[in-house]
């Protein structure tokens, strides 16, 4: 139901319209009235009516002045003016500033009824259009998210010039117009020791929604769903505000995550403040290095420079042993890009200047080789087949200059093998998800979360799989199935558009027509005529 506000200085007319006209019957709630524009203005600002009915000639503030102010402050409010025959020149001016209709005195119930019916019809169409745009925007967000991720990857790889950063960020509607930035990495890697795809979690789905709602309300933050379990958040500000914005963000994330502390693993690291786009690549590496401390301390949450320094000073006075459980945990969960930071952190846990000793380098390389071999066996793979044939020989001859590249290669090979094995399971789940969509696309409530829950996989992982394996987004896949079926029904049946819309998953036939025309460039009716004419 819409709302209406009446401004009329003649009390008889005002009270008469208020009491005698069946507002609710025409779809309106009567939310207030006033004798002139001056009294009405604060009440209108408070009630924000969908329709304002105002007389033109009133004391203190007339209808023209009131209408101008309302059009400026509440542009979506429809305005109906009341005028007499001798007020025609005023009526012309009112129409020129954008009022929607007018009522000539004396006002009858039938006249007012026609005008209110017209107003309701226009409001219905506006809301219908807004609903289409809102629904279409929601369905487009998945595709836009992948575009944003591509932009972020280019930004942190240093692949774009300053002018390209501004150009691409503007295309995506991202405002990078401040002088200082900070990069926050927020990771939800499960830290399990099982080789499996991320399963569906109602807690994670709820937390993700809560975080996104918070971040979208804060213009000082730009969030990217960077990978399956990791969000990257750019904090914006100037010299005086960047630290406060960063602190507020971390506190808000911590408060929300702690609610699910027993169900969800979460880890956070910041890069530190930068002032140039060219520094984002280094900032990302710094944040990733701090974040890799989670493999050394899986029970921690927020990792800082102090954690890196603590590793450097750990066991300076005694020989440290390498905790192979942490290495296995890393191999189970990490990405290839995290390997350098993790290896450096592992080394920092050893005796001071450990890499100066060739003996330690050989010990370190052999220990990492054994960890990688054990992990590959756990995957059901033969280490002698997967790893480079000369790995053992290289370990025997390793020194401080070759140990890092050698271990990095072994780790990257093992992680790649794991991802390949997980990929086989993922493709099976993707196939099940696609089959589920094929069978249920006619359900208008079908969504990513429902399908993810059905195949027991996290929504973000399912979304990423769709994009990687099918070269299309989840929403685009559903839409294509619906549109293909709609085309068949339009050509091979005489069913009405509304019936076809319902059969392919659209409750609203107008929205169905909107999507159909956006997809094929013609309306369903035009497509049917063209198809039957061939």
Residue count of the chain: 534
Question: Distance between CA 268 and CA 399 in Å, rounded?
Answer: 34
Residue pair 267/191 in contact by the 8 Å Cβ criterion: no
- Bridge-partner residues for 32, per DSSP? 5
Residue pair 82/55 in contact by the 8 Å Cβ criterion: yes
What CATH number has the domain bearing residue 189? 3.30.70.270
Question: Distance between CA 507 and CA 479 in Å, rounded?
Answer: 14
The pLDDT value given to residue 316: 47
Report yes or no on 401 lying in a domain: yes
Question: Distance between CA 78 and CA 522 in Å, rounded?
Answer: 32
On whether both 319 and 284 belong to a single domain, the answer is no
Compare 103 and 256 and report the one with higher pLDDT: 256
* Final residue in a domain of this structure, among 273, 303, 333: 303
Report yes or no on 117 lying in a domain: yes
Question: Distance between CA 245 and CA 222 in Å, rounded?
Answer: 12
| Mean pLDDT (whole number) for 263-278 | 92
On whether both 286 and 320 belong to a single domain, the answer is no
The pLDDT value given to residue 208: 84
What CATH number has the domain bearing residue 526? 1.10.10.60
Lowest-pLDDT range, 193-207, 311-325, 417-431, 452-466?
311-325
Lowest-pLDDT range, 32-36, 120-124, 189-193, 298-302?
189-193
Report yes or no on 217 lying in a domain: yes
Banded pLDDT at 315 (limits 50, 70, 90): very low
On whether both 295 and 373 belong to a single domain, the answer is no
Question: Distance between CA 426 and CA 292 in Å, rounded?
Answer: 25
Residue pair 227/146 in contact by the 8 Å Cβ criterion: no
The pLDDT value given to residue 129: 64
Banded pLDDT at 133 (limits 50, 70, 90): low
Report yes or no on 446 lying in a domain: no
Instruction: Please provide the average confidence, as pLDDT, over all residues in the chain.
Output: 84
* Final residue in a domain of this structure, among 440, 472, 506: 440
On whether both 204 and 320 belong to a single domain, the answer is no
On whether both 513 and 473 belong to a single domain, the answer is yes
Domain count, the chain: 4
The pLDDT value given to residue 532: 59
Report yes or no on 163 lying in a domain: no
On whether both 206 and 275 belong to a single domain, the answer is yes
pLDDT at residue 349 greater than cutoff 60: yes
On whether both 405 and 485 belong to a single domain, the answer is no
What the block records as the tokens of 224 is: 């990217």
How many alpha carbons lie under 13 Å from residue 5 in its C-beta half-sphere? 27
What CATH number has the domain bearing residue 107? 3.40.50.2300
Nearest to 346 by CA among 369, 321, 366: 321
On whether both 351 and 372 belong to a single domain, the answer is yes
On whether both 122 and 237 belong to a single domain, the answer is no
394: exposed, middle or buried (Cβ count in 10 Å: 0-12, 13-18, 19+): middle
Question: Distance between CA 187 and CA 184 in Å, rounded?
Answer: 10
Most confident of 67-71, 248-252, 340-344, 390-394: 248-252
**What is the residue range of 292's domain?**
178-303
Question: Distance between CA 91 and CA 56 in Å, rounded?
Answer: 8
Report yes or no on 308 lying in a domain: no
Banded pLDDT at 352 (limits 50, 70, 90): low
On whether both 430 and 471 belong to a single domain, the answer is no
| Mean pLDDT (whole number) for 323-350 | 81
What percentage of the chain exceeds 70 in pLDDT?
88
The pLDDT value given to residue 279: 93
Question: Distance between CA 326 and CA 263 in Å, rounded?
Answer: 21
Banded pLDDT at 483 (limits 50, 70, 90): very high
On whether both 322 and 418 belong to a single domain, the answer is yes
Report yes or no on 63 lying in a domain: yes
Report yes or no on 270 lying in a domain: yes
* Final residue in a domain of this structure, among 109, 129, 149: 129
> From the CB of residue 481, how many other CB atoms can be counted at a distance below 10 Å?
18
Residues 6+ positions from 38 with CB-CB distance below 8 Å: 60, 61
Q: For CA atoms 455, 460, 465, 466, give the dihedral sign.
A: positive
Check residue 61 and report its DSSP letter: S
On whether both 422 and 331 belong to a single domain, the answer is yes
């Amino acid at each position: 139901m819409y709302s209406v506000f009446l401004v009329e200085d003649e009390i008889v007319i005002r009270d008469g319209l208020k009491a005698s006209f069946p507002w609710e019957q025409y779809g309106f709630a009567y939310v207030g009235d006033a004798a002139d524009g001056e009294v009405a203005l604060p009440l209108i600002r408070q009630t924000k009516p969908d329709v304002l009915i105002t007389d033109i000639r009133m004391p203190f503030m007339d209808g023209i002045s009131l209408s101008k102010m309302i059009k400026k402050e509440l542009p979506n409010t429809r305005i109906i003016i009341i005028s007499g025959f001798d007020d025609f020149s005023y009526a012309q001016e009112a129409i020129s500033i954008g009022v929607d209709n007018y009522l000539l005195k004396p006002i009858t119930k039938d006249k007012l009824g026609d005008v209110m019916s017209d107003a309701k019809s226009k409001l219905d169409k506006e809301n219908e259009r807004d609903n289409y745009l809102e629904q279409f925007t929601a369905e487009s967000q998945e595709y836009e998210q992948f575009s944003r991720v591509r932009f972020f990857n280019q930004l942190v790889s240093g692949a774009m010039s300053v002018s390209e950063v501004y150009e691409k960020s503007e295309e995506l509607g991202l405002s990078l117009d401040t002088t200082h930035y900070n990069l926050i990495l927020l990771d939800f890697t499960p830290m399990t020791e099982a080789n499996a795809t991320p399963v569906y979690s109602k807690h994670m789905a709820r937390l993700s929604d809560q975080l996104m709602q918070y971040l979208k309300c804060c213009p000082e933050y730009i969030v990217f769903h960077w990978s399956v379990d990791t969000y990257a958040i750019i904090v914006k500000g100037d010299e005086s505000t960047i630290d406060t914005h960063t602190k507020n963000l971390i506190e808000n994330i911590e408060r929300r995550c702690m609610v699910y502390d027993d169900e969800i693993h979460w880890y956070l690291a910041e890069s530190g403040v930068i002032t140039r786009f060219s520094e984002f690549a280094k900032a990302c590496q710094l944040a990733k290095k701090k974040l890799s401390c989670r493999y050394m301390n899986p029970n921690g949450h927020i990792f800082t420079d102090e954690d890196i320094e603590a590793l450097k000073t750990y066991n300076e006075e005694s020989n440290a042993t390498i905790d192979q459980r942490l290495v296995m945990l890393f191999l189970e969960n990490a990405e290839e890009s995290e390997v350098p930071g993790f290896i450096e952190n592992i080394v920092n846990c050893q005796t001071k200047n450990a890499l100066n000793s060739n003996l330690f380098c050989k010990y370190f390389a052999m220990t990492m080789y054994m960890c990688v071999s054990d992990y590959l066996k756990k995957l059901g793979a033969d280490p002698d087949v997967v790893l480079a044939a000369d790995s053992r020989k290289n370990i025997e001859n390793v020194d401080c200059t070759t140990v890092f590249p050698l271990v990095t290669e072994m780790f990257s090979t093992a992680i790649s093998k794991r991802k390949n094995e997980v990929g086989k399971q993922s493709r099976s789940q993707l196939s099940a998800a696609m089959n589920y969509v094929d069978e249920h696309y006619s359900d208008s409530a079908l969504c990513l979360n429902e399908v993810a829950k059905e195949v027991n996989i996290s929504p973000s992982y399912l979304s990423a799989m769709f994009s990687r394996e099918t070269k299309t987004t989840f929403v685009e896949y559903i839409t294509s199935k619906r549109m293909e079926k709609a085309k068949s029904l339009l050509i091979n049946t005489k069913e009405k558009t509304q019936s076809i819309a319902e059969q392919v998953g659209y409750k609203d036939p107008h929205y169905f027509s909107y999507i159909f025309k956006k997809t094929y460039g013609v309306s369903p009716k035009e497509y049917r005529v063209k198809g039957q004419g061939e």
